[in-house]
Amino acid sequence: MKKLISMVVAAALAVTSVFALAGCSSANGGNGGGSKASFKVGAIYINSQNDTSGYTYAHHKGVTEGMKKVGLDPAKDLFIVDNVPEDDEKVKQAIDQLAGNGCNIIFGISFGYINAFEEKAKEYPDIIFSHATGYLSNDKNFNNYFGRIYQARYLAGIAAGYKSLALGNNNIGYVSAWGTEYAETCSGINAFAMGCMAVNPDAKVSVYEISTWGDQQLERQAAETLIDTYGCCVIAQHCDSSQPQIVANEKGVFGCGYNSDMTTEAPAAHLTAPIWNWDVYYATAMKAAMEDPANFMTKVGIYYEGLNAGLVDISPLSSNCEPETKEAVELAKNLMKNGEWDVFSGVKLSFSGSAGSVAVEKTNAALVTNDGAEIVAAGGPSVEDGVITGSMNYYVEGVTQVN
Q: Are residues 299 and 322 in the same domain?
A: no
User: 387: which DSSP letter?
Assistant: I
Q: Are residues 103 and 56 in the same domain?
A: yes
Q: What is the pLDDT of residues 237-296, one digit of tens each?
A: 999 899 999 999 999 999 999 999 999 999 999 999 999 999 999 999 999 999 999 999
Q: How many domains does the chain have?
A: 2
Q: Are residues 299 and 159 in the same domain?
A: no
Beta strands in 234-310 (DSSP E): 234-238, 254-256, 270-272, 274-276, 303-305
Residue 311 dihedral angles phi and psi, to the nearest 5°: -70, -35
End-to-end CA distance of the chain: 27
Q: Are residues 10 and 131 in the same domain?
A: yes
Q: Are residues 166 and 65 in the same domain?
A: no
Q: How far apart are CA 7 and CA 186, in angstroms?
A: 35
Q: Are residues 28 and 171 in the same domain?
A: no
CA distance readout (Å), 323 to 142, 159, 231, 319, 358: 46, 10, 24, 9, 10
Q: Are residues 127 and 250 in the same domain?
A: no
Q: How far apart are CA 347 and CA 371, in angstroms?
A: 19
Q: Are residues 70 and 178 in the same domain?
A: no
Which H or E run contains 289?
A: helix 279-291
- The residue type of 384 is E
Sign of CA dihedral 91, 92, 93, 98: positive
Q: Are residues 265 and 283 in the same domain?
A: no
Beta strands in 28-170 (DSSP E): 41-44, 78-81, 105-108, 128-132, 142-147
Task: Determine the pLDDT at residue 34.
Answer: 54
Task: Determine the pLDDT at residue 182.
Answer: 93
Kindly report the pTM of this predicted structure: 0.86
Q: Are residues 154 and 143 in the same domain?
A: no
Task: Determine the pLDDT at residue 134.
Answer: 86
Of 260, 291, 309, the position where a domain reaches its end is: 309
Q: Structural domain of residue 336, as residue ranges?
A: 149-273+315-401
Q: Are residues 139 and 43 in the same domain?
A: yes
- What CATH number does the domain containing 30 carry? 3.40.50.2300
Give the helix ranges, DSSP H, for 101-202.
Answer: 114-123, 149-167, 183-199
Q: Which residues of the chain have pLDDT under 70?
A: 1-35
Task: Determine the pLDDT at residue 88.
Answer: 98
Task: Determine the pLDDT at residue 78.
Answer: 98
Q: Are residues 93 and 224 in the same domain?
A: no
